[in-house]
Amino acid sequence: MNTISAEAKRPEIEQRSTRLQFFIAGFAGAAWASLVPFAKARTGLDEAALGLVLLCLGGGSIIGMPIAGALSTRYGCRIVLVLSAGLLGATLPLLAIVSSVAWLAATLFFFGVALGSTDCVVNVQAVIVERASGKTMMSGFHGFFSLGGIVGAATTSALLTVNVSALASTIFAVATIAIVLLIAYRGLLPYGNPADGPLFAIPHGMVLFIGVLCFIVFLAEGSMLDWSAVFLVEQRGMPAAQAGFGFASFSLAMTAGRLTGDTIVAGVGRRTVLVAGSLLAAGGISLAMIAPWWPVALVGYAMIGLGCSNIVPVLYTAAGRQTTMSQAVAIPAITTLGYAGILAGPAGIGFIAHQSSLSTAFFLVAALLVAVAASSAVVRL
């Protein structure tokens, strides 16, 4: 009887652990977002130079994702997620204290490896768990990534506001990651997608198309992660210790959208979510850039979060259903393509801002989101 009961509860445990792993990924990324203005000031970098350094985070993520996907196929999701969390815990405190540009770049690279590996493998687990449940669950899973973003940005900014040091704030973040991982450990899958083909392959067909759309949406999200605080401090005069609340506004709206997203998708359909969400996010960017007051910019950030909230979950569900490529290759490939937006976004925005302004750079992101809305006529959802 006890064995039967345990087996019956297993899917519920796996679903809970998937949510908690998404929380860890969002929490760690947001903790770094709150530190960006401090890292910029500590190293004396301008926008263009900071953009180059931020390439290291994206580069680490891009390198880590396909490797982590292959490792999860061979050794299971659990071991890869645990090792990735350990690397997050080792690098995050260093980001709060390094003052050398070279050390900041190196630390960001390994932090990116850890963050990218976590993001890739948790999506592998999410697709497996959602498919096994027979229900729409992807938006809810990703909602916990956004919830982690809220908690990470808000707690780190709150600690910094009351003059807790950046190092102590990150040590608190690492302790939180360790506790959540311990709770999630039991439900992490000891297996991954079956290796029914090569572990590495160039994406093509629908997998490539979905990956490009993810690239654009992640570019917008990466812009919020790495530049939202800088924009508020330098363009809107917001105190640096409170600038993390910009990303928190974005994350709060995204969380609300994702936690209700499964119901929304079931009610209006994936295509409507793709079109309306992309246009709302583009409008939010425009509002934040045009309005001269930081409280209005926070409203714009919230619109971006709400608009983007369910686009990527919808695309991951579509990726899990496509038959162009095996799941063992498709999910890491789409994740890698998507997170290339985080690689290109911060660097591109930095260069454009150096030549013109941050506002111009963000307007270009808005134009790309309009293109995502137009893609609904082509993409198979």
pLDDT digit string (tens) for 343-360? 677 678 888 888 888 888
CATH number reported for the structural domain that contains residue 29 in this entry? 1.20.1250.20
The closest of 255, 234, 221, 241 to 339, measured between CA atoms, is: 221
pLDDT at 1 over 50: no
Alpha helices by DSSP H, listed for 162-269, are 166-184, 205-236, 244-259, 261-268
Q: Which residue has the tokens 């350094």?
A: 53
For the chain, what is the domain count? 1
How do residues 175-211 score in pLDDT, each as one tens digit? Answer: 999 999 999 999 999 998 776 656 566 777 788 889 8
- What predicted TM-score, i.e. pTM, was given to this entire model? 0.79
Which domain, by its residues, includes 155?
2-377
B/e letters for 39-56, b = 16+ CB within 10 Å, e = fewer, are bbebbebebeebbbbbbb
**pLDDT tens, position by position, 294-335:** 888 899 999 999 999 999 999 988 887 777 777 777 888 888
